[in-house]
Chains A and B, each alone.
Chain A
Amino acid sequence: DAGITQSPRHKVTETGTPVTLRCHQTENHRYMYWYRQDPGHGLRLIHYSYGVKDTDKGEVSDGYSVSRSKTEDFLLTLESATSSQTSVYFCAISDASGREEETQYFGPGTRLLVL
């Protein structure tokens, strides 16, 4: 998984509670991404980061926030979890030094169930 870990790997939570997912990389890549994967929708980009403290919104950012205080860590927070946020969340990384380096490599995923 290209030096990417995600924690926790599985989580069950209740509607209305805050949840934070962590992505940690050992590749020193500049770019990090959060996706969600749902049946019939494919992978959809939530937020991404192009450097420490530099983040931007993706396609489905409502209800999510992110933070990146170190190159190796990218956190995804659900401020108040809803059942519609039940999904599998994937972190990805890429570098920016050349065209081939733009390829995104994915972590193992976090399966989140919101009851």
Chain B
Amino acid sequence: EDQVTQSPEALRLQEGESSSLNCSYTVSGLRGLFWYRQDPGKGPEFLFTLYSAGEEKEKERLKATLTKKESFLHITAPKPEDSATYLCAVQAADSWGKLQFGAGTQVVVTP
């Protein structure tokens, strides 16, 4: 059975204090790994898709990396507006369209 585990559950950062979020996954053949950001009371907002080990993608202060067993979302010099819940999801090669989500990491960045 496909599984996605995100850690930590919650993370409190000072503005400018870089950190990383972890997404560990077990899937029978990875078709894609997705990162989303979710603000309170809103729907998830797409950030990145990673397809193969070694792949990296960046957007502003966020950088996502992928290995065969986990993905990291690095937040460099975060600002208060980076406060959100970050969700990771995997799509198995034989489960087109079906995403398996982790429970998320809630990030709070204080000034």
Contacts and interface: CB of A to CB of B under 8 A. Distances in A.
Interface stretch (A13-21, A73-81, A100-108): A100-108
Contacts of A58: 98
A35 to B, nearest CB: 8
**Residue among A31, A42, A105 facing the most chain B CB atoms (10 A cut-off):** A42
A70 interface: no
- By secondary structure, the B interface counts as strand
A109 B42 CA distance: 7
A94 interface: yes
Interface in A56-109: 58-59, 90, 94, 99-100, 102-109
A59 B87 CA distance: 18
Interface in B20-40: 31-32, 34, 36
B44 A106 contact: yes
B49 A100 contact: yes
Contacts of A99: 32, 51
A40 B103 contact: yes
Given A103-B49, A105-B46, A107-B43, A41 B103 contact: yes
Given A106-B43, A106-B44, A43 B97 contact: no
Given A90-B44, A100-B49, 6 more contacts: A40-B103, A41-B103, A42-B104, A102-B97, A107-B43, A108-B42
5 contacts: A40-B103, A41-B103, A42-B4, A50-B97, A104-B34
